[in-house]
Chains A and B, each alone.
Chain A
Amino acid sequence: MEQLTENSSSRVQIAIIGALLLVAVGLLGVWLYLRPVDTNVDRISVLDAPIDGFDYQPDASAAELLKLADVTLDDLSSRFPDVPQTFNVIANRDFLVSDTGAAKSNWTKAVELEPSNTEALFGLANVAFEDTRYEDAIGICETIDRLAPNNPKVPLLLADALLHAGKADEAALVLEQHLATEQGSVQAIELLGNAHLQTKSYEKAAQCFQRAIDFAPKSKDAHYGLAQAFARLGDRDNAKRFMERFKNIAKEIGDEHAEEAKAFEDRNYAAHVAAQVYVDSANIFRAQGDIATACNYILRAHRLQPDVEPWLTELQRMFFSNGQLDEAADVGEHLVGLAPQDLERRLNLASLYADLGRADDAIENYEAAIELAPDDPRCQQAKQIINQLNAS
């Protein structure tokens, strides 16, 4: 009996302990449920946190920044020595630092490894153009066009090379074909206007430049071209009018350049070069399946050039695909901060919050998106998600 009593007492104690444990687990569950919201308030954004292996000083000189690029490229070369894209990345850097000889050599290696590598061929066409070997540039562009007929960059370079080779008629043909599908390409329209100026087709030139101004009202080149066309047509009044506008635009741009020139040090350009190397390298790592390194490199690029948005979009995508939702949300928050009126970014961020269980943040961003574009079909869907989140 006493044994029974002892046993019963033990069972009660166990039950009490069990109940307490259940309560504790429940409380832990509640705490865990609430925890993400509180924790994220204190979390350091991945964009601000230290980056693994990145020894960067904010006051680094231009030479030190370029050294960062060199180190990255050395690493890339040792890891992926036979990947054509490796040579493209190195060549891009060479081209950016105006070493067209080295760029040519590296793009040539890429083509040797992969004869149909259109990126490398396009680089070689650019080098030929820069070297004033316009006939070579024309030939390479035609090769690219055969390999990848719809590359939109090629017709522009081809037409420019034809124009510089004194073949304005042929340039005009290329541009007219290009404009049949790319009607809003201001660069193509302006080039066509220049081709018409060269062939002394001043009426056509004027039409082109006017069209370019319709698309790009602040285009300096188009205003100049139109003024020249009117001058050749003997329309002095219109020539003067557009020259005045051209002068004003040129002055604005000139003032900007003068301000840049006063900076006295090209550190920003070196930062741009190093950042571009990181991003290009990240693409290779991503292609090789090493998403973590790819993300690390884009974070480095961002640290060097915080305002370049396309890299961040790519970074967000990679974090998401790698299951790093917190990090993806960090990037999303930054992107929304840069452009609060961007519907796409709002919806992406809201969706990420929802995936993270951050219902309030998700609802807030869905509502902001609905305010931006209430009639957008995606916002109708957002309303349903808000209801679901509120219900849960």
Chain B
Amino acid sequence: MTFSARSNQPISDMPQQVSNLIRYRIALVIYLACCWLGPSASVSGQIRFENYTERAGIDFVHTDGSSGKYYLVESMSAGVALLDYDIDGDLDIYFLNGAPIDSPNSNPATNALYRNDGGFRFTNVTKEAGVDNAGMSLGVATADFDNDGLPDIYVNNYAGNCFYRNNGDGTFDDIAKDTQTACSDLIGGGVCFLDIENDGDLDLYVANYIKFDLENHRPHIHKGLPAYPSPMSFQPEPDRLFRNVGDGTFEDWSNEAGVLNQAGRGMGVLAFDFDADGDQDIFVANDTQENHLLVNDGAGRFTEDGLFAGLAYDFRGKAQASMGVDIADFNGDGLQDLVVTSFLEEFTTIYQNQGAGVFEDATLRSGTGEATFPHVTWGLAALDADNDTIVDLVVGTGDLDDRRTSRGGASTATGFRVADVMLRGDGRGRFSDLKADWGEAARTLQSTRGLVAGDLDNDGRVDIVALGARGRPAVLRNTTANTNNWISLSLVGDSQRSAIGSRVTAVVGGKELTRIVLAGRSYQSCSSQKLCIGVGGESSPIDVAILWPDGSRSAHSIATNTQVVVLHPSLSPPQAGHFDSPDSDP
């Protein structure tokens, strides 16, 4: 089922972009040939995830660089990304790592890229790929910023970011300084790619956290023991927005965009058309202050409107310590809802989309509160874990206070290393906590920060990768056994090759299942841009409609249990069998 072909060299003397397009087409043929002939009866079985970290060959160990001085930034730790950097059809993993911020050159640990070899086996290719940044890395996003068909990587760091351009031969070059996107004097958070003015070039939104002066640092004393200071002790730092000029360079567009007017302690970020007006808006999950919703006027100028949209605070008007963010249609009304993780004794909050850019905190009705309230919650992923067409939710947990027990314990049953939470959706906006009943994953204790979901073994079941602060990650293989079917799509855009912002809607039994292509989500992380859609017991071809970022529409009929690469209408000739021709009537 997985690809074994691995070619990092151009397959001809043709220009790189064309050769990559051909690679996609080859991949398409292979995908189509790889139809999985599973049974078609519909069953919602028990959700099961097994810890495959060791078996997958993942030996990454995260360090936050802590030395007992309790620098706040240590507690943030880092995100993780899934990308197919070598365009071989399977997802590779890029882990971020930390470093001592007061002695950066002493750090032997680096970020790490693990190549997917198929069969749920991975190889560390960090050194040869040249993505071994040894700084304090915090956030990451991947997308094809230069439209050469290859995913690039942007890493948001403590004082000095990296922008790894994919050379197409398995190596990357850091172009942060050349593109003036290094933000050398800022403390980063989340990051996402988006096309702010729909010109076909991916722009870059870089969240920042706090204004911090190493010299003036003093540890907080909590119950007689040193502790991390409150984020509220520090002034928030405005984020930055870099506009892609289109020639491989960027310009700092923060001021023109209105971003500099909004200082926030930014963590997770996510770009989506929140007000359904055809352009990409930006949600920023801010720590210990109101969240920001930057509403785009279509020309890349933004107005902060989180309060009116109902996304700034929780249902009582309380600012949460927001961490991670994701979107999905939780209640089956066709609208993308928002979910935001937060601190201990705060809820993972569900903001239900009411339409027209207005959201309502539906947490109390959702059942997400009771399971998440005891924990600090970080990365998360909205995913259909058992392919029953209903979106579930996995929430990464882990205290940031490693001495809470010494201080007399937490007010809730949590700890620095705890099991993540799996919430099974009911399709009507309610969730039930699976507690210990989702396999070995429920017994995997770590302090999760970044968390992403993607189909690592191309079996149609979405797997999970969770970065654990100060320790090993958890690579959780989805072993849910049922007869549900699925489809998987990778989109190739026209001018914007990553097709970020595309809306894919599959119709299953009259029900619309919508997914959005994102480049930046969860806690400072970036999940797979390959979309997996569970279609339950449906075995006949699935009607899929795609709204592309440039407004183009296409319609397709996709056989179940297949993975397809879907090309933008301008790139794709009519496909018989598995691909329909683009819809000529948008």
Contacts and interface: CB of A to CB of B under 8 A. Distances in A.
A262 B225 CA distance: 17
Given A99-B408, A166-B364, A261 B224 contact: no
A270 B230 contact: no
Contacts of B289: 254
A97 B232 contact: no
B307 A246 contact: yes
B358 A232 contact: yes
Interface string B342-368: 000100000000100010100011010
Interface string A28-68: 00000000000000000000000000000000011110100
Contacts of A261: 229-230, 232-233
A264 B232 CA distance: 11
B100 interface: no
A7 B511 CA distance: 131
B370 interface: yes
B233 A265 contact: no
Contact of A240 (B308, B313, B354, B374): B308
A257 B231 CA distance: 11
A258 B232 contact: yes
B409 interface: yes
B428 interface: no
A164 B308 contact: no
Contacts of B373: 132
Given A166-B365, A243-B307, A264-B229, A194 B223 contact: no
Contact of A220 (B219, B310, B317, B408): B317
A63 B226 CA distance: 11
A132 B370 contact: yes
B222 A266 contact: yes
A295 interface: no
A101 interface: yes
Range, interface on chain B: 35 or more
Contacts of B411: 98-100, 130
A140 B219 CA distance: 41
Interface stretch (A151-159, A178-186, A222-230, A328-336): A222-230
Given A132-B369, A132-B374, A221-B317, A228 B223 contact: no
A239 B373 CA distance: 30
A130 B16 CA distance: 58
A250 B408 contact: no
B315 interface: yes
A239 B356 CA distance: 15
A168 B361 CA distance: 14
Given A97-B408, A131-B412, A198-B364, A231 B308 contact: yes
Interface in A259-287: 261-262, 264-267, 270
Nearest to A236: B308
Range, interface on chain A: 35 or more
Nearest to A130: B411
A218 interface: no
A91 to B, nearest CB: 13
Contact of A164 (B310, B317, B364): B364
A23 B399 CA distance: 82
A132 B224 CA distance: 28
Contacts of A227: 307
A257 B290 contact: no
Contacts of B367: 166
Contacts of B219: 264
A225 B364 contact: no
B310 A228 contact: yes
Interface in B56-81: none
Nearest to B314: A224
B218 interface: yes
B317 A264 contact: no
Contact of B290 (A99, A198, A232, A250): A250
Nearest to A193: B316
Given A239-B308, A254-B289, A224 B221 contact: no
Contacts of A194: 315-316
A224 B374 contact: no
Contact of A62 (B223, B319, B369): B223
Contact of B224 (A63, A101, A131, A258): A63
Nearest to B221: A265
A301 interface: no
Contacts of A61: 221, 224
Interface string B296-316: 000000000001101001011
A247 interface: yes
A243 B229 contact: no
B308 A243 contact: yes
A231 B229 contact: no
B503 interface: no
A168 B364 CA distance: 9
A362 interface: no
Contacts of A62: 221-224
B307 A63 contact: no
B171 to A, nearest CB: 45
Given A224-B316, A254-B289, A270 B223 contact: yes
A229 to B, nearest CB: 11
Contact of A98 (B221, B307, B313, B408): B408
Given A131-B412, A231-B308, 5 more contacts: A62-B222, A63-B223, A66-B224, A98-B410, A220-B317
11 contacts: A61-B224, A62-B221, A98-B411, A132-B369, A163-B364, A194-B316, A221-B316, A228-B310, A236-B308, A243-B308, A266-B221
